[in-house]
């Protein structure tokens, strides 16, 4: 049952990250909010491990690998994306940049860990990115390019490279160990990156109101614990290209959520692009699914 539901649950939970980022920005600086989020996640994951009798990694190498993967997957990736959005990168543009990750992961996995992709899977990755472009490119073209800071766009692109490295690193060096213990150590790694960045680049502004606690609760329970646990599970049980291809579904779904919660316009191109994305993800995953049977 988990094998069947995990991909869909991951996409739904992960897609809310863009909505939460936009909402949380009303109450706290982006990196400062992430420090709060990661700190709470570390405490909760530790308590889960403590009372569940989870075995911690026994070797120093395993601990280091978990911390380093967290630095890339959470600290650098999310930190850069949230900071870029806070600097003025629109969600539509950030979404299409996010669509680069599955392509980057598929190419890098072939060279670094020998993960072979069939012609159908390669076509699925390209088709998925084309669907992302169809869905959000009209919104990007309608933006005032002069109002978007190029340095922030560059940071957003660099974030995609970091999550690609983190995903492959996770697959190569963290093949064993309880995922709850791994997640705890990964958020320690995230704090190692995010705390100094928040101190260096922000005023550590926080408004301690109900909206902040609501955003923090969902960020920790829904995304940091729920979505990330599912992502680690998907990476461990399958190809990294297969897990990464699910990211294609996130921007269109995030656009739908933005339309529901913030009144942003849902266009025909978004609907058509989403349909193309679904086909691309299906093609990317089809071979692996048949092989596992």
Listed residue (236, 230, 229, 231) closest to 175, CA to CA: 236
Tell me if the pTM is above 0.85: no
Note the pLDDT of residue 47. Answer: 94
CA 264 to chain centre: 22
Note the pLDDT of residue 90. Answer: 73
Listed residue (208, 192, 227) closest to 18, CA to CA: 227
Note the pLDDT of residue 240. Answer: 54
Note the pLDDT of residue 34. Answer: 95
Note the pLDDT of residue 72. Answer: 94
Mean pLDDT per 10-residue segment, the chain (293 residues): 72 80 87 95 93 87 93 91 81 69 68 67 77 70 65 85 85 80 94 96 94 94 85 68 64 71 69 77 60 40
Note the pLDDT of residue 84. Answer: 85
Listed residue (45, 42, 20, 44) closest to 30, CA to CA: 20
Note the pLDDT of residue 233. Answer: 77
Q: Is the dihedral of CA 262, 266, 271, 273 positive or negative?
A: negative
Note the pLDDT of residue 293. Answer: 39
Note the pLDDT of residue 64. Answer: 94
């Amino acid at each position: 049952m988990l094998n069947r539901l995990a991909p869909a649950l991951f996409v739904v939970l992960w897609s809310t990250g863009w909505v939460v980022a936009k909402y949380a920005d009303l109450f706290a600086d982006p990196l400062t909010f992430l420090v709060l989020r990661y700190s709470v996640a570390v405490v909760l994951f530790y308590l889960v491990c403590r009372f569940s009798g989870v075995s911690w990694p026994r070797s120093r190498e395993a601990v280091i690998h978990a911390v380093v993967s967290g630095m890339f997957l959470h600290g650098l990736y999310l930190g850069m994306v949230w900071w870029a959005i806070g600097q003025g990168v629109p969600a539509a543009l950030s979404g299409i940049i996010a669509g680069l990750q599955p392509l980057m992961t598929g190419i890098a996995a072939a060279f670094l860990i020998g993960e072979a992709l069939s012609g159908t899977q390669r076509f699925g990755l390209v088709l998925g990115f084309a669907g992302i472009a169809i869905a959000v490119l009209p919104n990007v073209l309608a933006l005032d390019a002069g109002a978007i800071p190029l340095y922030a766009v560059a940071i957003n692109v660099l974030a995609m490279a970091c999550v690609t490295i983190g995903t492959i690193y996770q697959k190569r060096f963290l093949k064993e160990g309880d995922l709850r213990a791994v997640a705890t150590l990964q958020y320690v790694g995230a704090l190692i990156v995010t705390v100094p960045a928040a101190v260096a680049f922000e005023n550590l502004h926080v408004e301690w109101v109900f909206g902040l606690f609501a955003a923090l609760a969902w960020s920790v329970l829904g995304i940091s614990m729920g979505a990330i646990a599912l992502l680690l599970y998907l990476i461990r049980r399958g190809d990294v290209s297969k897990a990464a291809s699910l990211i294609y579904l996130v921007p269109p779904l995030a656009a739908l959520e933005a339309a529901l919660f913030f009144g942003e316009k849902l266009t025909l191109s978004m609907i058509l692009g989403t349909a193309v994305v679904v086909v691309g993800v299906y093609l990317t995953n089809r071979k692996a699914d048949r092989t596992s049977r």
